[in-house]
Amino acid sequence: MEVLGIDIGFGFTKATDGEETLIFKSLFGDATDLQFWVDFGENSLSNYFNVTIDGKSYFIGDLAEQQSNVISFTLDQEKLISEFVKVLTLTVAGVFLKEDSAINVPINIVSGLPIGYFKHNHKRFNEILTGHHKISYIQPDGSKIVKEIYINKVRMLPQPLGTILNLLMDDRGKIVNKELAKQKVGVVDIGFRTTDFTIMDRLRYIDRSSRTMDTGISKAFSVISNKLREKCGVSVELYRLYKAAELGTIKMKGHGLNFSKIRDQVYAQLAGTIANDIDRVWAGDWDIDTIILTGGGCMELAKYLQPLISGSVIPTDLTVDARLNNVQGYLKYGRYIWGESGQEPPQPQPPKEVDQIEDRLEEPLEEPLEESISEALEAIDEPIEDIDDFVEDEFD
């Protein structure tokens, strides 16, 4: 039995089995008949995803971006679930399925959804993913590897909880950070399309203070892309802006363009909007002990956002890839509920004093967290808040 954490984000697909981690852009495209393949890059093979699922062939991630004629990318949650989740999940699940293991080794998956989409969509992941699947991978040399995947169980979490669970638990899924477990913790997860806010108060998920907003980094990328179009007449797809936005420069038709000033302004504005949302969504939560910034977008926005937040913010560690915080927590949660091997755990003895959180922490398989999460998740029914008026014509 394998346990995998898989995070299908609007920007990036992230997956881990605890030993290896995969991360690539959430893109797929038609599999073209490549006449010739040469790649002198270092990680070529791990990024070469040419797959066939249900009789359809796809290039995935970087390969799609470079070689497909028609590339699918979306910022629409419905589309992400109905068109992307199966293809991207099976692609990574098949990679993690050990080649020498017997056919049909069952896989248990923990994945996540933005809070605002959780209630209406979490069961769909089960419907789409559980059961038997077949996927073939065409290697660069033309050889084919066929994998039979059996997905036994899929558990869903609201995405930002992954980050808290990652901090709370060790690699075996045991709750070890007792200090954090006693606290009221707020998480701001800045992704590519969404920013999620959530609070966990002494291991209890607080629905009232959890929300999804449309203030991911793509909001800033849209402004930059519009500016570039006005200046150069080229429409740059948002998924082609990551590297350029990091550098603040882009080369178009032989001309280098520096847009770092606009980028900094837009990031500062986006950070301001997120800080206002924090004040509004957590107006009653003035007793938060710790605020954690997570998601890849926090790496760009931390320097603007941190000074705007009143409260104790854990400083963003720029040496760690914050895009992976949630998926690492998903895997730990999988080990917490299923054990390291993915087997159902034996029933633990109930602790003597249930109110003593210390006792509960010694019992990794006892389920206060589990209960709290599932109860609260039933209650989640927040609409997504849009901020279409976010982008003012600041840069004219």
Ligand X SMILES: Nc1ncnc2c1ncn2[C@@H]1O[C@H](COP(=O)(O)OP(=O)(O)OP(=O)(O)O)[C@@H](O)[C@H]1O
Using CB under 6 A as the criterion, which residues of the chain lie in contact with ligand X when the complex forms?
Answer: 9-12, 191-194, 216-217, 242, 295-297, 299-300, 323
Distances, alpha carbon 155 to alpha carbons 3, 35, 232, 313, 386, in Å: 11, 41, 46, 30, 28
What is d(CA 192, CA 354) in angstroms, rounded to the nearest whole number?
Answer: 40
Q: Using the minimum distance from each CB to ligand X, give the nearer residue, 146 or 318.
A: 318
Q: How far is the CB of 71 from ligand X (least distance, A)?
A: 16
Q: Using the minimum distance from each CB to Mg ion, give the nearer residue, 18 or 191.
A: 191
263: nearest Cα among 294, 224, 232, 297: 224
Q: Which residues pair with 71 in a beta bridge?
A: 29
Those residues with Cβ within 8 angstroms of residue 123's Cβ, 6 or more apart along the chain or in another chain: none
Q: How far is the CB of 162 from ligand X (least distance, A)?
A: 10
Q: Using the minimum distance from each CB to ligand X, give the nearer residue, 97 or 241.
A: 241
Q: Which residue has the tokens 């790649």?
A: 39
Q: Which residue has the tokens 């200046």?
A: 231
> Binding residue for Mg ion (CB under 5 A) from 3, 6, 9, 250?
9
Q: Which residue has the tokens 């993690």?
A: 96
Q: Using the minimum distance from each CB to ligand X, give the nearer residue, 11 or 186.
A: 11
Can residue 116 be called a binding residue for Mg ion (CB under 5 A)? no
Q: How far is the CB of 61 from ligand X (least distance, A)?
A: 12
Q: Which does 133 bind (CB under 5 to 8 A by kind): Mg ion, ligand X, none?
A: none
Those residues with Cβ within 8 angstroms of residue 322's Cβ, 6 or more apart along the chain or in another chain: 293, 294, 295, 296, 298, 299, 316
Q: Using the minimum distance from each CB to Mg ion, give the nearer residue, 297 or 342.
A: 297
Listing DSSP states for 86-150 in one string gives HHHHHHHHHHHS-TTSPTT-EEEEEEEE-HHHHHHHHHHHHHHHSEEEEEEEE-TTS-EEEEEEE
Can residue 5 be called a binding residue for Mg ion (CB under 5 A)? no
Q: Which does 299 bind (CB under 5 to 8 A by kind): ligand X, Mg ion, none?
A: ligand X
Binding mask 186-215 for Mg ion (x = CB under 5 A): -----x------------------------
Can residue 29 be called a binding residue for Mg ion (CB under 5 A)? no
Q: Which does 160 bind (CB under 5 to 8 A by kind): Mg ion, ligand X, none?
A: none
What is d(CA 220, CA 192) in angstroms, rounded to the nearest whole number?
Answer: 10
What is the CB neighbour count within 10 angstroms for residue 5?
29
DSSP 45: G
Q: How far is the CB of 174 from ligand X (least distance, A)?
A: 26
Q: How far is the CB of 104 from ligand X (least distance, A)?
A: 30
Q: Using the minimum distance from each CB to ligand X, give the nearer residue, 64 or 138.
A: 64
Q: Using the minimum distance from each CB to ligand X, give the nearer residue, 296 or 339.
A: 296
Q: How far is the CB of 389 from Mg ion (least distance, A)?
A: 24
6 touches 155 (CB < 8 A): no
Stretch of 6-14, 52-60, 148-156, 267-275 contacting Mg ion, by CB under 5 A: 6-14
Q: Which does 25 bind (CB under 5 to 8 A by kind): ligand X, Mg ion, none?
A: none
Q: Which does 63 bind (CB under 5 to 8 A by kind): ligand X, Mg ion, none?
A: none
Q: How far is the CB of 211 from ligand X (least distance, A)?
A: 14
CA 260 to mean position of chain CA atoms? 26
The DSSP element (H or E) to which 220 belongs, if any, is helix 217-232
Q: Using the minimum distance from each CB to ligand X, give the nearer residue, 320 or 354.
A: 320
DSSP 173: S
Query: Which residues in this chain contact Mg ion in the complex, by CB under 5 A?
Result: 9, 191
